[in-house]
Structure 1
Amino acid sequence: MTGTIAELLDDAAATRPGDGLLIDVDGRVLTVAEVARLSAAATRWLADRGVRPGMTVAWQLPSHSAAAVLMLALARTATVQAPVLHLYRQREVQAALEIATADVLIVDESTVANTPPGIPVVELPDDFLEVLQRIPGDIAVAGTRSPDDAHWIYFTSGSTGQPKGVRHTDATLLAAARGFTAHLGLGDHAREVGTITFPIAHIGGMVYLACALIAGLPVLMVPKVDAARLPHLLAEHRVTVTGGSTAFYQMLLSAQLASGQSEPLIPTLRMLIGGGAPCPPELHQKVRTHMGVPVVHAYGMTEAPMICVSEATDTTEQQSHSCGRPIPGTSVRIGATGEIELCGANLTPGYLDAEQWSKVTTPDGWFRTGDRGHLRPDGRIVITGRIKDLIIRKGENISPDEIENELLAHPLIDEVAVIGQPDAERGEMVCAVVRRSPGRREVTLGEVCEFLDQRGLMKQKWPERLVVVDEFPLTGLGKVAKNELAEQITGGSR
């Protein structure tokens, strides 16, 4: 087993240098050897711009080849890298940088506007890869790292909307990648082609790249998903494996149905893969019926990517009604309250805030996920709900508290509760429920979204639905009974 991500890349470059690794949407292909060479050159480029061993380097970039090369370059150095989702706007970027105590932020022209004040910034040029190609060969890579050192920081939503800094090592990420590759049988197909259609700064970005190196397959980098163009793009590049979230499956299914064709829009596709949100059995069935491929879903989180993964060889029932079995090196158990607990090689060594970590671990060191579920007799896991009060919209965790706190500043809102509601396209939609205020007109959904835009919240956090009620149902402690509220408002919308 290769120890570090850089060693995995260099081993692949030595054994199959001419194999493709990164494919841009315009058709440009970078081989494994070229990616290894460019990532090594990028370490000198970064050093020339003041990046030094021991620094924490945050970056915010879309899912293009330059971002992948930069990420692999930082993985060669003795820095800590903190990827930030390119969807984040300035306030979310600033929160992430403060939690990571970042020394520098790397952006490109598409994300430079999100830069908060007071942080040194390095902007990638448009021709970053061409610049790296002109750097002389035989690059001496600065810094050394152990596979067990926490050189990665990822961010996850907390119950108050303030993200948690989740530490990872090369070893934890590679454990997830090896398990994912093995369960899915990635690379078994003669001409396997994968994709990264989700934000590469998500923890899945590095895991998927590692899968590509382990399985020996190229990945198509898609910086912006265009629903109308996506099926053609995937067909053009003869993609065999793609996915990301339940919303992504739904997008491709909708395109297939809208086409009116019985023939698949992506003839080479052999399965959809991903996770991040529940995938209903009905969606499994529709994808099989209309697209002719299975959905091979997984269960994971920022703290422990790829916990349980369905297998390509699973039955239709197993794939449709479970999230698969734990990957090698991971153990799952159900606690006394029905909460899923886990330990294993893919688990984070902890949060940046040690007190936060102590609150979610058991006395014997198992991580409490905040999810409820049960293990089937065949060893597969079923997720039945969440203990955490989070909305999962298109695979992203959204904190109701954060949105509620912002909306309470609106002049037409005195009381508000934000809840998630099931939605076929998004997994869950964001619904704002406002209590009617005597003597004032009702606020509109458009006004709510405009207000949140002005407050700097990214669009993914804006409500898709607004409901106005006379009273909120309350618990015995005087808190809004959100489960009861959700049942009450099912139906009418504004």
Structure 2
Amino acid sequence: MVRCPESLRSPPPAGTIADLLDEGAACRPDRPLLLDVSGATLTLSEVAALSTAATRWLWDVGVRPGMTVAWQLPSDVKAAVVMLALARTPVVQAPVLHLYRAREVRTAIEVAGADILLVDESTVANTPAGVRTVIVPADIVEQLQTSMRSPHPELARPPTATEASWVYFTSGTTGRPKGVRHTDATLLSAARGYVAHIGLGSHPREVGNIAFPIAHVGGMVYLAAALLGDFPVLLVPKVTADDLPRLIAEHCVTVSGASTALYQMLLAAQMASPTTELLMPSLRMLIGGGAPCPPQVHRRVRQHLKIPIVHAYGMTEAPTICVSESTDTDEQLAQTTGRPIPGSEVRIGASGEIELRGDNLTPGYLNSAQWEHAVTSDGWFRSGDRGHLRADGRIVVTGRTKDLIIRKGENIAPDEIESELLAHPLVDQIAVLGQPDDLRGELVCAVVRRSQRHRDVTLDELCTFLDGRGLMKQKWPERLVVVDDFPLTGLGKVAKSELARRIAGGTR
């Protein structure tokens, strides 16, 4: 029998995600949890029942205890139900971003060692050949509602809170992702800290939304935050500049966000409006993380949307590290990433690198050698970011030690793009780097050294080439610069920081 905990928003720390959902269903059965853009609503009790019934469907399509189940689904209600159903079963689930194409999906499956891949009609084209694949029906929620079967006895044994039953993927500097293990306990720790610092659920009519890939580590963290904060979530499978402001207004969303790119999208929509009336009057704050948020974006959102940005600092290995607070001053919101959440420990190493440990941190990579390389001798995780601690307890992130581009909150490895483009017949030497961009955080810039053997390549030719080789569009260069020479380091490598300075200043 499921009993209501003394504090609805603070379930026992040892509880699982399935426990959290079932406790909510027992205590607040009629409270909305999942909202569809069509207007349909699923309550806590309905979601609990659907995710339970879905274990029968999972068995029918071949899921068995001990398997690793990868899935690639957009941010919709059926994805949430499938994710919560898998959280009830003795399997490891490996969510794959719906933006990935066949080659990237194959790599993710190989890294995770997945036995089966779940897709829907929008992602089935990304399925690599030879991979055991199941198509999730578009009407699976309706099918489950008509059956509402009991859980399958072989799949009715959820993992414990400390079992590594989740695998997420993060880019390495070579482009091959690392498999990042998580437990229910680490994800719930991140969610609790997020709720506590931001005050999610404190508004009497709180409504959140997931307008980012639900397969991102933030997807489950945000759903857990909704359970902890007792508020419903609008799931937006396709985000466009025209539709998102309208959906936020229609569904009276009070808290939205994802990354700086989404803040910019909503800001641009408001500034383009022919009237001074707010397009999204229900919004009380924007939240998110995944990439730096420049102070000027904070100021413009405050000026035009009349709300604050409450930004956070996290990564796949530790989904929530530091979070700003709704009571922070404008200066603290704009200049810092907030304070560490409870259970998260942060220190600055001797070289200025941010190092982490705590309840929110992954227990390790699937590749143990990668993990050993990533931690210090005394057990702290090296984040790859540089920063410093202020006197007020806030953390300031000043840059990265890793050679990665963060575009709209997603890590992109320049080495992977360089390796592909070196196969282009009009490219002899190339360097790929990130450049600051108001909309994306960083854009992908290809710098090609001019050749005496052939004409200059064009940006369209580079993108067409990468398209043919199967790289997702997010990795295609958005700017091309042709230079006569590359600046080099003492070891003969391209000095990318100097190159970035030159092309930013207009030098060719």
Matched to 2:294, the amino acid is P
Q: Give the Å deviation of 1:135.
A: 2.0
Q: Give the Å deviation of 1:128.
A: 0.6
Q: Which position in structure 2 is the counterpart of 1:104?
A: 116
Matched to 1:253, the amino acid is L
Residue 437 (1) aligns with residue 451 (2)? yes
Residue number among 58, 78, 84 corresponding to 1:66 in the alignment: 78
Q: Give the Å deviation of 1:134.
A: 2.1
Checking the alignment, whether the CA contact within 8 Å between 1:4 and 1:147 is kept in structure 2 is: yes
Q: Give the Å deviation of 1:212.
A: 0.4
Residue number among 319, 327, 330 corresponding to 1:305 in the alignment: 319
| Identity rate, percent | 69
Q: Which position in structure 2 is the counterpart of 1:26?
A: 38
Q: Give the Å deviation of 1:492.
A: 4.4
Q: Tell me the distance in 2 between the aligned counterparts of 1:183 and 1:344.
A: 17
Matched to 2:355, the amino acid is E
Q: Give the Å deviation of 1:145.
A: 1.5
Q: Which position in structure 2 is the counterpart of 1:225?
A: 239
Matched to 2:231, the amino acid is L
Q: Tell me the distance in 2 between the aligned counterparts of 1:204 and 1:493.
A: 40
- Gap change, CA 1:420 and 1:51, over 3 Å in 2: same
Q: Tell me the distance in 1 between the aligned counterparts of 2:83 and 2:408.
A: 24
Q: Which position in structure 1 is the counterpart of 2:191?
A: 177
Instruction: Give CA-to-partner distance per residue, 1:298-325, whole Å, 9 cap, x none.
Output: 0000000110000011111111110000
Q: Give the Å deviation of 1:133.
A: 1.2
Q: Which position in structure 2 is the counterpart of 1:388?
A: 402
Matched to 2:245, the amino acid is P
Checking the alignment, whether the CA contact within 8 Å between 2:35 and 2:232 is kept in structure 1 is: yes
Q: Which position in structure 2 is the counterpart of 1:478?
A: 492
Checking the alignment, whether the CA contact within 8 Å between 2:89 and 2:159 is kept in structure 1 is: yes
Q: Which position in structure 1 is the counterpart of 2:280?
A: 266
Q: Which position in structure 2 is the counterpart of 1:252?
A: 266
Residue 361 (1) aligns with residue 350 (2)? no
Matched to 1:96, the amino acid is A
Q: Tell me the distance in 2 between the aligned counterparts of 1:356 and 1:104.
A: 25
Q: Which position in structure 1 is the counterpart of 2:89?
A: 77
Checking the alignment, whether the CA contact within 8 Å between 1:372 and 1:383 is kept in structure 2 is: yes
SS at match of 1:346: coil
Matched to 1:10, the amino acid is D
Residue number among 346, 349, 354 corresponding to 1:332 in the alignment: 346
Q: Which position in structure 2 is the counterpart of 1:128?
A: 140
**How many residue pairs were aligned?**
494
Checking the alignment, whether the CA contact within 8 Å between 2:111 and 2:179 is kept in structure 1 is: yes
Q: Give the Å deviation of 1:50.
A: 1.1
Instruction: Structure 1: state its 5+ residue gaps.
Output: none
SS at match of 2:489: coil
Residue 9 (1) aligns with residue 21 (2)? yes
Matched to 1:194, the amino acid is G
Matched to 2:367, the amino acid is D
Aligned-CA RMSD value: 1.1
SS at match of 1:134: helix
Residue number among 43, 49, 70 corresponding to 2:61 in the alignment: 49
Checking the alignment, whether the CA contact within 8 Å between 1:467 and 1:493 is kept in structure 2 is: no
Q: Tell me the distance in 2 between the aligned counterparts of 1:7 and 1:493.
A: 59
Q: Give the Å deviation of 1:491.
A: 4.5
Residue number among 419, 436, 442 corresponding to 1:422 in the alignment: 436
Residue 118 (1) aligns with residue 150 (2)? no
Matched to 2:57, the amino acid is W
Q: Tell me the distance in 2 between the aligned counterparts of 1:460 and 1:137.
A: 41
Q: Which position in structure 1 is the counterpart of 2:164?
A: 150
Matched to 2:275, the amino acid is Q
SS at match of 1:402: helix
Matched to 1:118, the amino acid is G
SS at match of 1:9: helix
Q: Tell me the distance in 2 between the aligned counterparts of 1:253 and 1:70.
A: 33
Q: Which position in structure 1 is the counterpart of 2:47?
A: 35
Q: Tell me the distance in 2 between the aligned counterparts of 1:138 and 1:190.
A: 34
Instruction: Structure 2: state its 5+ residue gaps.
Output: 1-10
Q: Which position in structure 2 is the counterpart of 1:462?
A: 476
Q: Tell me the distance in 2 between the aligned counterparts of 1:399 and 1:427.
A: 15
Residue 95 (1) aligns with residue 107 (2)? yes
Matched to 1:335, the amino acid is G
Q: Tell me the distance in 1 between the aligned counterparts of 2:333 and 2:97.
A: 29
Residue number among 192, 205, 221 corresponding to 1:207 in the alignment: 221
Q: Which position in structure 1 is the counterpart of 2:8?
A: none
Instruction: Give CA-to-partner distance per residue, 1:210-262, whole Å, 9 cap, x none.
Output: 00000010000000001112111100000000000000000000001010432
Q: Which position in structure 1 is the counterpart of 2:4?
A: none
Checking the alignment, whether the CA contact within 8 Å between 2:66 and 2:92 is kept in structure 1 is: yes
Matched to 1:381, the amino acid is I
Checking the alignment, whether the CA contact within 8 Å between 1:59 and 1:107 is kept in structure 2 is: yes
Q: Tell me the distance in 2 between the aligned counterparts of 1:145 and 1:335.
A: 35
Matched to 2:48, the amino acid is A
SS at match of 2:212: coil
Instruction: Give CA-to-partner distance per residue, 1:340-359, whole Å, 9 cap, x none.
Output: 00100000000000000001
Q: Give the Å deviation of 1:31.
A: 0.4
Matched to 1:33, the amino acid is S
Q: TM-score, normalised by structure 2?
A: 0.96
Instruction: Give CA-to-partner distance per residue, 1:174-196, whole Å, 9 cap, x none.
Output: 00000000001000000000000
Matched to 1:416, the amino acid is I
Checking the alignment, whether the CA contact within 8 Å between 2:252 and 2:283 is kept in structure 1 is: yes
Residue number among 195, 216, 240 corresponding to 2:254 in the alignment: 240
Checking the alignment, whether the CA contact within 8 Å between 1:465 and 1:493 is kept in structure 2 is: no
Residue 318 (1) aligns with residue 336 (2)? no
Q: Tell me the distance in 1 between the aligned counterparts of 2:507 and 2:288.
A: 31
SS at match of 1:166: strand
SS at match of 1:299: strand
Q: After TM superposition, list the pairs within 5 Å mapping 1:268-287 onto structure 2.
A: 268-287=282-301
Q: Tell me the distance in 1 between the aligned counterparts of 2:145 and 2:59.
A: 16
Checking the alignment, whether the CA contact within 8 Å between 1:60 and 1:105 is kept in structure 2 is: yes
Checking the alignment, whether the CA contact within 8 Å between 2:54 and 2:151 is kept in structure 1 is: no
Instruction: Give CA-to-partner distance per residue, 1:22-76, whole Å, 9 cap, x none.
Output: 0010100000100000000000110111101100000000000000000000000
Matched to 1:187, the amino acid is G
Checking the alignment, whether the CA contact within 8 Å between 2:87 and 2:158 is kept in structure 1 is: no
Q: Relative to structure 2, which stretch is displaced further, 268-277 or 257-266? A: 257-266
Matched to 2:309, the amino acid is V
SS at match of 1:244: coil
Matched to 2:261, the amino acid is A
Residue 490 (1) aligns with residue 501 (2)? no
Matched to 2:331, the amino acid is E
Instruction: Give CA-to-partner distance per residue, 1:383-404, whole Å, 9 cap, x none.
Output: 0000000000000000000000
Matched to 1:44, the amino acid is R
